[in-house]
Amino acid sequence: MTFGTPPEPPEPPPLIPPLAGPAPVAPLAAELTATGLPRVPTMPGAIATIGRGLDLNVAARSILRRASLYTGLLTLLAAGPPIATAWAFSIQQGGLDWLAQLMATGVSPHLRAGSAFASFASITFLLSAGCLFAIWLDAQLLALTFIGGQATGRTFTLRGALVIARSRYWRLVRASLLVGLIQLIPRIVLQALLTGQTVGSETQVLIVTIVDLLLAAPFAYIGAGIVLGDVGAQEAVRRSWRLAQARWRLAFVVAIVTTAVAYLAAFALGAGLDILLRLGGAVGLDGTIGPSQSVVLAVILVLAIVSIGSLVMTIDGLTVGPQVVAFLGLTGFSSGLDEGANALAPPRPTRLISWPMRIALGLNALAAGIAVYNTL
């Protein structure tokens, strides 16, 4: 008998190994246990899932930075016309007193505005809201694509990711509407229970937050199911429910991260607006607006809008990281990303701004121009 150094044990496989080829279209159907739930492979703990999501954001920081700038510039194109309308109206009113009164009391008397201005200003604000909704939903889909690609060894350009985002856009809209309808009754009941209660506002906010987490946990994987799983809206909702049943704690972690990042973003946005207001007061924007103040106000607004749009992409990257890690760990499925990956066939040509968005932005600018003309 000979004695020697025992062989070293093999290293464990990585949590999310890169895929060598496309996975089957519907792995959950083949991986159901006797109870009807998906078979769960070895998964990291909750803290490890969050850490892995942050690691993916750091690794994808280069493409996320470019996508943030893209989202910020699109946000400027969408929000610029109504902001320009309000800017011209403020100059015509002689200052920002009307806006301060409107924000403080909800009513701003003694406004000098004609019916034509009011009509076209309303149109541009409505078009802007629709464009911003579409842009920010695209940002969520882009974040899922970039983070999912980073986790599975796929490389995406911005145009390649847009191919996936635009092909999944209406699925995510329908899924969001479906989830909203499912959550509508519990929210109405909660609002009725809280109305007239003597509990403080902080307690009410805490109760609403806890209920929102409970309602969001079963649908934590809808975005990943649509982008990585390439399924429809109803199937994404069903699969998300089954995955949440398999690991409720993990689903709650994903929901908690989403809620926590949203609160942090709200605080950051509020702090940024406070800084802008202080800066505006320092240069005299709280009084009569002259030519020099107008230029300063325009620069401040442009920087603020681009920053907010870029922040949206950053927030989406942070929130989808744990979701992607958990979804891939539970299902091992990611062939929904093959459509825009560079490693496969080159993606079909796609414009950075789609034609429907171009038309909406053009109409938005036209309505804003007519509204500004009516302030002269």
- Region of residue 77 (phi > 0: left; psi between -120 and 50: alpha; otherwise: beta): alpha
Q: Count the domains in the chain.
A: 1
In a domain, 40, yes or no: no
In a domain, 12, yes or no: no
d(CA 80, CA 164): 27
In a domain, 36, yes or no: no
pLDDT digits (tens), the chain, 376 positions:
444 545 544 444 444 444 334 333 333 333 334 434 344 444 667 788 888 999 999 999 999 999 999 999 999 999 999 988 887 777 776 666 666 666 666 566 566 667 788 889 889 999 999 999 999 999 999 999 999 999 988 888 898 899 999 999 999 999 999 998 988 888 888 777 777 666 556 777 778 788 888 888 899 999 999 999 999 999 999 999 999 988 888 888 888 888 887 777 777 666 666 666 666 666 555 555 566 666 777 787 788 888 888 888 988 999 999 999 999 988 888 888 887 555 444 455 678 899 999 999 999 999 999 988 887 7
Cβ within 8 Å of residue 324, ≥6 positions away: 53, 56, 144, 147, 148, 151, 224, 228
Question: What does residue 158 show for φ and ψ, rounded to 5 degrees?
Answer: -65, -40
In a domain, 35, yes or no: no
In a domain, 79, yes or no: yes
Question: What does residue 89 show for φ and ψ, rounded to 5 degrees?
Answer: -65, -40
In a domain, 222, yes or no: no
pTM of the model: 0.80
In a domain, 237, yes or no: no
In a domain, 353, yes or no: yes
Range of the domain at 66: 50-97+114-167+249-373
